[in-house]
Amino acid sequence: MQSVTLNNGVKMPIIGFGVYQVPDPQQCENTVYEALRAGYRLIDTAAGYMNEEAVGRAIQRSGVSREELFITTKLWIQDAGYESTKKAFAKSLKKLQLEQLDMYLIHMPFGDYYGAWRAMEELYRDGYIRAIGVSNFLPDRLMDLIVHNEIVPAINQIETHPFQQQIISRAFLKEQGIQHQSWSPFAEGRNHLFTNATLTSIAEKYNKSVAQIVLRWLTQQNIVVIPKSVRKERLVENFDIFDVTLSSEDMKAIATLDTGESLFMKIDDPEVAKMLGHMKVDI
């Protein structure tokens, strides 16, 4: 298993399994179980996904030793704040049936995330979390968080795929020693990703699927990926990417697909902030 080393020395698998939009408890449990059987060791969930309990059951059912696993979950906006973060963390830990979390992320840069970060710093120092980080933070908010707190986030998990390559954020994260992690590496198939002429041509060249090429393109740039699939054959396929190395010409060809725009939501749009701020999740 290839890994990256975070800014606190903790090693993290470069490929994991994400469970966003797998709300059905039994399906989620079974899929995570199959992912663990296939060799995945990084599992990424969130309180807002409402499937932490299913993930916890799959972990227990798998029989994989805790030392081999790297489990990530996230704090939703409604629980941001010092005291509420500690309560939310305890609830997530219980649902996951764990005594320690490998990574805890602030899911969105809204609400009292400064209070949340102070609580997370304490939980980290007390040994309840091996690393702490953020998700969906733009460089300005991330720098503000760094300047006014003691611990630099280990990770920023952001939308990253061939059509949104995050060139500015990527350079900033590298400069700050923060690991870049991709969510939605396949852009949920938008912009006809799986039939894109450039990607299909490269896939044929290496006898791989478009999904495998996208994941290899990302991991070759040291970006952590968390692809999701509820189909066993696809999750096995997505894990089988390290037997090829894309040429510099192919990497450059994929680089031309970048639009620099989100295919989901503009995190700096006031209406998006308003919408997410009012989004309450039954967790």
**3-state SS, residue 74:** strand
* DSSP sequence for 146-166: HHTSSSPPSEEEEE-BTTB--
Question: Do 99 and 71 touch, CB atoms closer than 8 A?
Answer: no
Q: What is the pLDDT of residue 279?
A: 86
For all residues of the chain together, what is the average pLDDT?
A: 96
The helix (run of H) or strand (run of E) holding residue 62 is helix 52-62
- Each residue's pLDDT tens digit, 268-281: 999 999 999 888 88
Q: What is the pLDDT of residue 51?
A: 96
Name the pTM for this structure: 0.96
Residue 46: left (phi > 0), alpha (psi -120 to 50), or beta? beta
- Each residue's pLDDT tens digit, 46-61: 999 999 999 999 999 9
Q: How far is CA 126 from the centre of its chain?
A: 24
Q: Is the pLDDT of residue 283 over 80?
A: no
Q: Which of 127, 58, 56 has its CA nearest to residue 97? A: 56
Mean pLDDT of 80-101: 98
Of the pLDDT bands very low, low, confident and very high (cuts 50, 70, 90), residue 282 is confident
Question: Do 277 and 248 touch, CB atoms closer than 8 A?
Answer: no
Mean pLDDT of 15-25: 93
- Each residue's pLDDT tens digit, 232-251: 999 999 999 999 999 999 99
Instruction: Compute the CA torsion angle 280, 102, 187, 30 (nearest 10 deg).
Output: -80
Residue of 20, 33, 40, 49 with catalytic role: 49
The arrangement of strands across the sheet holding 179-183 comes to 16-18, 42-44, 70-75, 101-106, 129-135, 155-159, 179-183, 224-225
- Each residue's pLDDT tens digit, 157-196: 999 999 999 999 999 999 999 999 999 999 999 999 999 9
Q: What is the pLDDT of residue 45?
A: 98
- 128 counts as catalytic: no
Q: Which of 43, 41, 75, 39 has its CA nearest to residue 56? A: 43
Q: What is the pLDDT of residue 239?
A: 96
CA distance 72 to 172: 23
DSSP letter at 229 equals: -
Instruction: Spell out the residues 6+ positions from residue 251 whose beta carbon is closer than 8 angstroms to its own.
Output: 217, 220, 221
Mean pLDDT of 58-79: 97
Mean pLDDT of 146-152: 97
- Percent of the chain exceeding pLDDT 70 equals 100
**3-state SS, residue 211:** helix
Q: What is the largest CA-CA distance in the chain?
A: 54
The one-letter amino acid code at 75 reads L
CA distance 251 to 167: 14
CA distance 74 to 89: 9
- Each residue's pLDDT tens digit, 208-240: 999 999 999 999 999 999 999 999 999 999 999
Q: Walk me through the domains of the chain, giving residue ranges and CATH numbers.
A: 3-277 (3.20.20.100)
